[in-house]
Amino acid sequence: MAFAKLNHVLVHWRETGKPDAPALIFVNSLGTDCRLWDELAEMLRRDWRIVLYDKRGHGLTEAPPGPYNIPVLADDLLALADHRGLARFAVVGLSIGGLIAQQVAIRAPERLTALVLADTAAQIGTTESWNARIEAVTRNGLPGIADAVMQRWFTQAFHATQQDALAGWRAMLCATSATGYTAACAALRDADLTAQIAAITAPTLVLAGDDDQSTPPDLVRATAARIQGARFELIPDCGHIPPAEQPARLAALIQSHLQEHFHG
For the full predicted model, state whether its pTM sits above 0.85. yes
**By C-alpha distance, which of 222, 3, 264 is closest to 122?**
222
- Residues 186-196, mean pLDDT to the nearest whole number: 98
How far apart CA 100 and CA 105 sit, in angstroms, is 9
Rg (CA), the chain: 17
Across the chain, mean pLDDT equals 97
Residue-wise pLDDT tens digits, 96-153: 999 999 999 999 999 999 999 999 999 999 999 999 999 999 999 999 999 999 999 9
What angle do helix axes 127-140 and 143-153 make, rounded to 10 degrees? 140
Is residue 263 predicted with pLDDT exceeding 60?
A: no
Q: How confident is the model at residue 75 (pLDDT cuts 50, 70, 90)?
A: very high
Q: What residues does each domain of the chain span?
A: 2-261
Q: How many residues does the chain have?
A: 264
Residue-wise pLDDT tens digits, 139-190: 999 999 999 999 999 999 999 999 999 999 999 999 999 999 999 999 999 9
Is residue 4 predicted with pLDDT exceeding 70?
A: yes
Amino acid 264: pLDDT:
44
The topology (CATH level 3) of 2-261 is Rossmann fold (3.40.50)
**What 3-state class would DSSP assign to 2?**
strand
The percentage of residues in the chain with a pLDDT greater than 90, rounded to a whole number, is 98
Show contacts of 145-154: CB within 8 Å, 24+ apart: 146/170, 146/173, 146/174, 149/31, 149/173, 151/213, 152/213, 152/214, 152/239, 152/240, 153/213, 153/214, 153/239, 153/240, 153/241, 153/244, 154/239, 154/240, 154/241, 154/244, 154/245
Residue-wise pLDDT tens digits, 26-59: 999 999 999 999 999 999 999 999 999 999 999 9
